[in-house]
C-alpha cells in the first residue's frame, strides 16, 4: 500500500467547525520574522518551534514558547524551497522528551506569493502530522505559512492536526507593550461586519484602518458592576465588535448607584444576572456587537476558554483570587490584561482617600504578585470553605490563648471595598485610553 494513502490529508478538516488561534508576544514575533525572512525576497526559509496549548470548547489556542532554529547544515542552501535534513527533524522530535510542549513548523513563501499551501506543503504537513503523532503522546502539530504582499504587510495561513483531525488556524494575535495586533488567516472566511456609523471622529483622529480593527476586536470584562459597566459603555460606543462578559453575581439594589447598566425598573426585580444587564446596555448602544455572557467564576474552564480568545481582558473585580488568576492568564497565554481598582476612605463624613489604579499585565511585565496587589493570606480568606474558616478561626484562637500571635492561622475576613459611582465611573472609563 502506498504510505501516502494512510495519511490524513490537511485539506480534510473536522466537521465540527473547530478552529485554532495562535498567540505570541511582540518580541517573539520580531525574533521569528528576523529568521523567517532571511532569504527574502526570492527564496523560502523556515523553522520548527515549540508551543504550549489548551484544548477549548471551540478548538485550540496555541501559544509560542521558543524557536528551534535550523543549523547551517539543516537545510539545502542551494534549493529555493525548504528542504530538511533528517538530523533537523530528529532534533525536533527529541524535544518531546523535554517537556509537555507541542512542536510546529513555520516557513515563508517568496515575496508576492500568497501563503496558500502547495501540493508539496500538503504532503509535508501530512507526513509531519503522522510522524509527530507517534512521539508526541497526543500533542498537536501546527503548520504555518507566512509571506509579505506588495505593501510588505504580512499575510499568513495555517492548520493544526490534533487527535486524528485537522482544523484551520484562523487568527494570529500578537501582544506587547508597543503592539496589539489581530491578524486573520488569508484562507479563513471573512467575518461579517457592520458599517462605521458613529465612528467618524475616531476615524478622523486615528485613521481609516481603526474602525475595522475595533470591529474585529474581542474584549473580555471580568466583573460587570461599578468598574466593568462604564468600561463596556465606552468600548461599545467606540465600535468594539465582540465582548466576553464574566460575573457570577446577581444585581442588587446597592449596585444601582454605580452600575451603568441598571435602570430604576430593575430595582423591582430580583435574580437578574449582572452580565445580562450589561449585555442589554451594549446592544442598546451597538446592536450588531456579539456578546457572550458567562455567569461563572473566573476560575471556571468555560471562562478561560473564552478569555484566551480576547485581544484584551479588563479586570474589574475587587477579588484578590480573580486578580491572581488574570495575572496567570496574561503570563501563560499572552493575553494583555488591564487590572482596574478603586479605593476610597472617609472619616466623620469627610472623604480622606480617593485612589484609582490601572495596572497592566502581560509577558515581560511584573505580575500581580510582583506588584504586591495580591497575597496568599488574602486569597486564602476569599476562597476558604465554611469548614476551613471555622478550623482557621479555632486555630487562631488557640494560638492567642497560648499567648502567641494568631495571625499566621487567620488574619481575618477581607472587608468589603466601599466605593461610589463617580469614582468607579472615572476609572472604568479611563481604561479606554491605556
pLDDT tens digits for range 316-356: 998 899 999 999 999 999 999 999 888 777 777 777 777 88
Is residue 332 within 8 A of residue 52, CB to CB? The reply is: yes
Taking residues 22-38, report their average pLDDT: 93
Cα–Cα distance between 40 and 147 in angstroms, integer?
A: 10
161 with 140: CB under 8 angstroms? yes
Confidence of residue 429 (pLDDT cuts 50, 70, 90): low
Closest to 46 in 3D by CA, of 70, 11, 64, 30: 70
C-alpha torsion 229→232→234→236, nearest 10 = -140
Report the run of H or E that residue 63 belongs to, with start and end. Answer: strand 59-68
382-428 confidence digits (pLDDT tens): 888 888 888 888 888 898 899 888 777 765 655 555 555 556 676 66
- Whether 190 shows a pLDDT value over 70: the answer reads no
pTM for the structure as a whole: 0.88
What average pLDDT does this structure show over 9-16? 64
CA separation for the pair 232, 162 (Å, rounded)? 36
Nearest to 23 by CA among 315, 312, 244: 312
Could you tell me which residue, 313 or 179, shows the higher pLDDT?
313
Q: From residue 102, how far is each of 152, 255, 426 by CA, in Å?
A: 30, 46, 44
What is the spatial distance between Cα 393 and Cα 328, in angstroms, rounded to a whole number? 30
- Do strands 218-222 and 242-246 pair parallel, antiparallel, or not at all (unpaired)? parallel
Q: Do 308 and 23 form a contact (C-beta atoms < 8 A)? A: yes
Max avg pLDDT among 213-217, 278-282, 429-433: 278-282
Inter-residue contact 297 to 248 (CB < 8 Å)? yes
Q: What is the pLDDT of residues 166-186, one digit of tens each?
A: 999 999 999 987 667 888 887
pLDDT at residue 5, rounded to an integer: 39
pLDDT tens, position by position, 144-169: 999 987 777 788 999 999 998 999 99
Q: What pLDDT score was predicted for residue 3?
A: 42
* Own/partner pairs, 127-131, CB within 8 angstroms, 24+ separation: 127/7, 129/7, 129/8, 129/10, 129/161, 129/166, 130/6, 130/7, 130/8, 131/89, 131/93
Residue 60 predicted with pLDDT over 90? yes
Tell me, what DSSP letter sits at residue 319? -
Q: Pinpoint the alpha helices (H) of 272-345.
A: 274-285, 301-307, 320-333
**66-103 residue pLDDT tens:** 999 999 889 887 887 888 889 999 999 999 988 899 99
C-alpha 134/C-alpha 131 separation (Å) is 6
Helix, strand or coil, per DSSP, at residue 179: strand
Amino acid at each position: 500500500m502506498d504510505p501516502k494513502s494512510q495519511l490524513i490529508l490537511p485539506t480534510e478538516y473536522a466537521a465540527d467547525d473547530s478552529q485554532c488561534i495562535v498567540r505570541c508576544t511582540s518580541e517573539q514575533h520580531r525574533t521569528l520574522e528576523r529568521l523567517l525572512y532571511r532569504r527574502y525576497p526570492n527564496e523560502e526559509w523556515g523553522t520548527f518551534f515549540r508551543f504550549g496549548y489548551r484544548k477549548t470548547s471551540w478548538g485550540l489556542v496555541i501559544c509560542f514558547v521558543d524557536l528551534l532554529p535550523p543549523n547551517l547544515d539543516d537545510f539545502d542552501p542551494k534549493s529555493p524551497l525548504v528542504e530538511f535534513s533528517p538530523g533537523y527533524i530528529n532534533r525536533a522530535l527529541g524535544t518531546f522528551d523535554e517537556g509537555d510542549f507541542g512542536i510546529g513548523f513555520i516557513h515563508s513563501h517568496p515575496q508576492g506569493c500568497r501563503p496558500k499551501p502547495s501540493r508539496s506543503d500538503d504532503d509535508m504537513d501530512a507526513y509531519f502530522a503522522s510522524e509527530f503523532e507517534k512521539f508526541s503522546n497526543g500533542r498537536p502539530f501546527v503548520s504555518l505559512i507566512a509571506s509579505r504582499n506588495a505593501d510588505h504587510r504580512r499575510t499568513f495561513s495555517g492548520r493544526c492536526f490534533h487527535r486524528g483531525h485537522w482544523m484551520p488556524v484562523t487568527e494570529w494575535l500578537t501582544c506587547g507593550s508597543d503592539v496589539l495586533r489581530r491578524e486573520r488567516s488569508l484562507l479563513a472566511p471573512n467575518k461579517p461586519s457592520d458599517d462605521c456609523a458613529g465612528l467618524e471622529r475616531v476615524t478622523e483622529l486615528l485613521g481609516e484602518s481603526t474602525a475595522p480593527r475595533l470591529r474585529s476586536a474581542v474584549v473580555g470584562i471580568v466583573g460587570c458592576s461599578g468598574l466593568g459597566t462604564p468600561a463596556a459603555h465606552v468600548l461599545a460606543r467606540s465600535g468594539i465588535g465582540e465582548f466576553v462578559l464574566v460575573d457570577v453575581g446577581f444585581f442588587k439594589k446597592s449596585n444601582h448607584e454605580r452600575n451603568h447598566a441598571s435602570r430604576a425598573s430593575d430595582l423591582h426585580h430580583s435574580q437578574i444576572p449582572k452580565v445580562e444587564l450589561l449585555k442589554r446596555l451594549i446592544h442598546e448602544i451597538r446592536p450588531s456587537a456579539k456578546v457572550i455572557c458567562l455567569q461563572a467564576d473566573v476560575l471556571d474552564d468555560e471562562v478561560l476558554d473564552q478569555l484566551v480568545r480576547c485581544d484584551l481582558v479588563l479586570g474589574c473585580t475587587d477579588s484578590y483570587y480573580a486578580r491572581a488568576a488574570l495575572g496567570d492568564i496574561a503570563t501563560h497565554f499572552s493575553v494583555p490584561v488591564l487590572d482596574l481598582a478603586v479605593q476610597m476612605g472617609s472619616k466623620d463624613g469627610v472623604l480622606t482617600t480617593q485612589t484609582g489604579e490601572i495596572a497592566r499585565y502581560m509577558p515581560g511585565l511584573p505580575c500581580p504578585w510582583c506588584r504586591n496587589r495580591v497575597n496568599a493570606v488574602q486569597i486564602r480568606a476569599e476562597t476558604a470553605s465554611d469548614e476551613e474558616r471555622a478550623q482557621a478561626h479555632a486555630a487562631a484562637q488557640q494560638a492567642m490563648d497560648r499567648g502567641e500571635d494568631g495571625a499566621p492561622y487567620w488574619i481575618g475576613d477581607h472587608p468589603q471595598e466601599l466605593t461610589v459611582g463617580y469614582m468607579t465611573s472615572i476609572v472604568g472609563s479611563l481604561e479606554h485610553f491605556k
